[in-house]
């Protein structure tokens, strides 16, 4: 039996483990693939305080070192189910089951990919999922945004502040986001929308040089070095909807202190309902969730 079981070892989970251990609690960290989560896909992070520029892998390595030094136990397994027991919670994984007095869900989210050639190879080298993270790398240049919903429109507006031009490639014949965002996009002199545009390939060797797409069967190429894919987010918390309340997108609903609808379960990072998904906000959540879990354990 552990005091705290943390599911997911991205920045939120790693921070939760550090805070839990430092509060003298026994902590088990369960991770299904590799330490560090999404940030390990980023070769350059330039908005994390104290580092002018750092690779996501290096940042993750430093966090992991700190977690290990604090004495957290680690299990590499995929958590499939969390259920309430008489005294706490049972976390079932593909490699055994673990009991915890409390659980912190920090399983993050995945950006939906287009699944076209060149996408995987060029992520972090021109293909991005986050204007806040990577927009500054393309200041003064032309970029494109793929998608037409709220996230895509927000990305386009944000990019238009520093980029010379933004082309929105939308596969439908209309934009599907909120009216105000659509208005802002359509009235911006820097943003152009191409409707009925189906992206077929990201082109480039080592770095992006263009985006191939079709409109009405015609093959076209947009020569950009930055392409922002904004076609949806897949939060990983949805699979635990039996024990925690989730929103329509599958994000776990939590209060400011990261407490979920189930007493004793806390939700931290990108997998919870929130508007800003960054390393710094995930870390803030990890700290809040662990401290809230400690308080819960002490008052029970
Ligand atoms: C390409 C890219 C570049 C980015 N660049 C920046 C940047 O420059 N600056 C910035 O601030 N942010 C950046 N971000 C965003 C940032 O990485 C995320 O906001 C942050 O990683 C969220 O942390 P998290 O711990 O909540 O989730 P994640 O990082 O998603 O970590 C969740 C972890 O949980 C694990 N997991 C999931 N399900 C299970 C399960 N069932 N059982 C066990 N383990 C599970 C996953 O394998 C993963 O390791 C970037 C993201 C991407 C994809």
State yes or no: is 61 an active-site residue. no
Residues 12 and 80 in one domain: yes
Name the helix (H) or strand (E) containing 65.
helix 56-70
Exactly one of 3, 21, 101, 130 is catalytic; name it.
130
Q: Tell whether ligand 1 has an atom less than 6 A from the beta carbon of residue 14.
A: no
Given CA atoms 157, 161, 162, 163 in this order, what sign does their dihedral have? positive
Tokens matching residue 228: 């922002």
Contact criterion met (CB below 8 Å) for 7 and 103: yes
| Residue 253, pLDDT score | 97
Residues 130 and 214 in one domain: yes
Q: What angle do CA 37, 43, 46 make, to 5 degrees?
A: 95
Domain that holds residue 211: 113-229
Residues 207 and 176 in one domain: yes
Of 195, 229, 263, which closes a domain? 229
Residues 222 and 261 in one domain: no
Mutate to test the pocket of ligand 1, among 279, 283, 285, 289 (most ligand atoms within 8 A of CB): 279
Instruction: Tell me the CA–centroid distance for residue 19 and ligand 1, in Å.
Output: 19
Residues 179 and 247 in one domain: no
Residues 50 and 187 in one domain: no
Q: What are phi and psi of 106, to 5 degrees?
A: -135, 55
Mutate to test the pocket of ligand 1, among 28, 34, 37, 51 (most ligand atoms within 8 A of CB): 37
Q: Tell whether ligand 1 has an atom less than 6 A from the beta carbon of residue 272.
A: no
Exactly one of 3, 101, 134, 270 is catalytic; name it.
134
Instruction: Tell me the CA–centroid distance for residue 270 and ligand 1, in Å.
Output: 7
Residues 261 and 172 in one domain: no
Distance from C-alpha of 188 to C-alpha of 160, rounded to nearest angstrom: 8
Q: Tell whether ligand 1 has an atom less than 6 A from the beta carbon of residue 142.
A: no
Mutate to test the pocket of ligand 1, among 32, 34, 38 (most ligand atoms within 8 A of CB): 38
State yes or no: is 134 an active-site residue. yes
Residues 177 and 40 in one domain: no
- Of 19, 171, 176, 26, the C-alpha closest to 88 is 26
State yes or no: is 294 an active-site residue. no
Q: Give the chain's domain count.
A: 2
Residues 96 and 179 in one domain: no
Name the helix (H) or strand (E) containing 128.
strand 127-128
Distance from C-alpha of 60 to C-alpha of 40, rounded to nearest angstrom: 7
Instruction: Tell me the CA–centroid distance for residue 12 and ligand 1, in Å.
Output: 8
pTM recorded for the entire structure = 0.86
Find the Cα–Cα–Cα–Cα dihedral 127, 130, 132, 135, rounded to 10°. Answer: 20
Residues 17 and 92 in one domain: yes
Q: Tell whether ligand 1 has an atom less than 6 A from the beta carbon of residue 27.
A: no
pLDDT in tens, the chain (300 residues): 999 999 999 999 999 999 999 999 999 999 999 999 998 878 788 999 999 999 999 999 999 999 999 999 999 999 999 999 999 999 999 999 999 999 999 999 988 999 999 999 999 999 999 998 899 999 999 999 999 998 899 899 999 999 999 999 999 999 998 899 999 999 999 999 999 999 999 999 999 999 999 999 999 999 999 999 999 888 889 999 999 999 988 999 999 999 999 999 999 999 999 988 999 999 999 999 999 999 999 998
Tokens matching residue 27: 């902590």
87 SS3 class: coil
Instruction: Tell me the CA–centroid distance for residue 82 and ligand 1, in Å.
Output: 21
CATH of the domain at 81: 3.50.50.60
| Residue 53, pLDDT score | 94
Of 181, 200, 229, which closes a domain? 229
Q: Tell whether ligand 1 has an atom less than 6 A from the beta carbon of residue 10.
A: yes
Of 229, 245, 273, which closes a domain? 229
Edge-to-edge strand order for the sheet containing 127-128? 127-128, 226-229, 142-146, 165-170, 191-195
291 SS3 class: helix
Q: Tell whether ligand 1 has an atom less than 6 A from the beta carbon of residue 33.
A: yes
| Residue 13, pLDDT score | 98
Exactly one of 3, 21, 133, 294 is catalytic; name it.
133
Residues 217 and 203 in one domain: yes
Residues 31 and 88 in one domain: yes
């Amino acid at each position: 039996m552990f005091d705290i079981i943390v599911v997911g070892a991205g920045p939120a989970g790693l921070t939760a483990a550090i805070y839990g251990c430092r509060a003298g609690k026994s902590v088990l960290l369960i991770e299904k693939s590799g330490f560090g989560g999404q940030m390990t896909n980023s070769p350059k992070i330039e908005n994390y305080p104290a580092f002018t520029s750092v690779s996501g892998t290096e940042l993750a390595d430093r966090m992991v070192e700190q977690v290990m030094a604090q004495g957290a136990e680690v299990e590499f397994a995929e958590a499939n189910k969390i259920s309430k027991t008489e005294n706490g919670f049972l976390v079932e994984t593909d490699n055994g089951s673990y009991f915890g007095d409390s659980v912190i869900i920090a399983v993050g989210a995945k950006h939906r990919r287009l699944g076209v050639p060149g996408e995987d190879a060029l992520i972090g080298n021109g293909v991005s999922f986050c204007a806040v993270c990577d927009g500054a790398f393309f200041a003064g240049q032309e970029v494109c945004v793929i998608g037409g919903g709220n996230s895509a429109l927000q990305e386009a507006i944000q990019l238009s502040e520093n980029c010379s031009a933004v082309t929105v490639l939308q596969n439908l014949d209309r934009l599907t986001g909120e009216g105000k965002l659509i208005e802002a996009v359509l009235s911006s002199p820097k943003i152009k929308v191409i409707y009925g545009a189906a992206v077929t390939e990201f082109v480039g060797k080592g770095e992006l040089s263009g985006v191939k797409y079709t409109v009405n069967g015609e093959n076209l190429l947009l020569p950009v070095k930055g392409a922002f894919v904004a076609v949806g987010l897949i939060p990983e918390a949805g699979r635990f909807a039996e024990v925690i309340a989730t929103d329509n997108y599958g994000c776990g609903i939590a209060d400011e202190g990261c407490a979920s609808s189930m007493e004793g379960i806390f939700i931290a990072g990108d997998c919870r309902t929130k508007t800003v998904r960054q390393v710094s906000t995930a870390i803030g959540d990890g700290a809040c969730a662990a401290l809230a879990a400690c308080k819960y354990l002490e008052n029970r």
